[in-house]
Amino acid sequence: MGKKKIIQTDKAPAAIGPYSQAVVANGFLFISGQIPLDPVTMEIVGDSAEEQTEQVLKNIEAILHAARLDVASVVKTTILLTDINDFSVVNEQYGKVFKKDYPARATYQVAALPKGARIELEAVAVLS
Q: Label residue 93 left, alpha or beta by phi (over 0 means left) and psi (-120 to 50 means alpha).
A: alpha
What is the pTM (predicted TM-score) of this model?
0.96
- Residue ranges making up the domain that contains 99: 4-126
- Predicted pLDDT at 89: 98
- Reported as a single tens digit per residue, the pLDDT across 45-101 is 999 999 999 999 999 999 999 999 999 999 999 999 999 999 999 999 999 999 999
- Report the C-alpha gap between 53 and 127 in whole angstroms: 24
- Predicted pLDDT at 128: 78
Inter-residue contact 53 to 96 (CB < 8 Å): no
Confidence band for 1, pLDDT divided at 50, 70 and 90 = low
CATH number at residue 58: 3.30.1330.40
- Predicted pLDDT at 28: 98
Q: How many domains does the chain have?
A: 1
